[in-house]
Amino acid sequence: MTGRIAFTEENALRIAAVERAFAPSGKSLAKPGRVLVGEGRLMKLCRRSPQPKMFFLFNDIIVYGSIVVHKLWYKNQHIIPLEDIIIEDLADSLEMKNQWLIRTPKKSFYMSAASEKEKQAWICRIMECREQQLISSRKEPTTSFAATWIPDRASHICMRCADKFTVAQRRHHCRQCGFVVCNSCSKCRIVIPAISAKPVRVCTLCFNTLLCEKAKEEAGKRSSDGFDLEMPVYEALSDEDSDEREEDDMMPIQWVKPQNMYHPKNSCFTYLK
C-alpha cells in the first residue's frame, strides 16, 4: 500500500511537471487514473526535414510538442487518444533510420528513434497501452486515418499538373491525399471533419471526389451543403512545420516503473529500489 501511494504521488508530480513545461498554451493533463508511462526525444518527419520533438506516453494518450528548452519548455502541444492510433513498423529509409509510421484520423506522420532497440520499445509500449485502453474504454478502434504528407523535397514538380516549383510557385499539401501540389491545383477548401472543423486545403481532384461523396450521402439536399469553397490565401508556415534547432544527441527513452521514485531536483526519472 505504501508503494502504491508513493507511486501515485510520484505520478501526479510528473504529470504536473509536463503540464508546466507546456504552459501557458498547453491543455491540462491531470485526470483520475491517468499514468505517465514514458517519455523521450524522437525525430518526427515534417514537411521539410526531420525535426526533434518531445513525446510523452500516457496509459490513454500520447502528447508531443516542439522543444524550446529541453526539460523546461515545450510548445505546440498535440494530444492523441490511443484508441485513434495505429502503428506500422517500417524499414530504414535514406532520410531516417529506425523509423515507424503513426496513423491517426487527424494526422499521420513518420517517426524515428536513436536505435532499433529504442524504436521497438516505443512500439511495444504504445501497442500495450492501446490494447489496455480499448479494453477498459470498450471503444471500437478507429478505422479511418489521415493521409501521410509527402515531404517537400520528394517532388520538384506539382504532383497534379507537373508544373515546376519555384520561389514564386510554392509547394502546398492536399489534406486529403497528402500530395505536394501547386497553388493553382489546390485553390479549393473543404471541411474534413476528422481533420478540422474549418475548411482545409485540398487539391481539385480530391475536392470533386469529396463533393460527390457528400452528394450521395445527402440525397435530396444541395450537393454543396455543409461545405465551404473559397479562394485560398498563402499559408504561413505553422510552428509545427517550421525549422527547429537540432540538438547534437538524442535523449534515451525513459520508462516509468511503479517502484521508481521521482526526485524533484532532476527532471528525469530515477530508478530506486
- N-terminal to C-terminal alpha carbon distance within the chain: 15
Question: What is the DSSP code (8-state) at residue 139?
Answer: P
Low-confidence ranges of the chain (pLDDT < 50): 2, 223-224, 229-251, 258-273
Q: Write out the three cell numbers for 206.
A: 480530391
Convert the pLDDT of each residue in 85-104 to its tens digit.
999 999 988 778 999 999 99
- Give the model's pLDDT for residue 230: 47
Is residue 175 packed enough to be buried (19+ CB in 10 Å), middle (13-18) or exposed (0-12)?
buried
- Give the model's pLDDT for residue 5: 57
Convert the pLDDT of each residue in 213-270 to its tens digit.
888 887 666 544 555 544 444 343 343 333 333 333 344 555 555 444 334 344 343 3
Type of residue at 32: P
Type of residue at 118: E
User: What's the residue count for the chain?
Assistant: 273
- Give the model's pLDDT for residue 233: 40
The model carries a pTM of 0.70
- Give the model's pLDDT for residue 269: 36
Type of residue at 95: E
- Give the model's pLDDT for residue 262: 37
- Give the model's pLDDT for residue 6: 58
CA distances from 74 to 24, 28, 60, 87, 239 (A): 10, 14, 21, 25, 12
Give the whole-angstrom CA distance, residue 26 versus residue 23.
5
Within 13 Å, how many C-alpha atoms sit on residue 151's CB side?
14
- Give the model's pLDDT for residue 251: 46
- Give the model's pLDDT for residue 1: 52
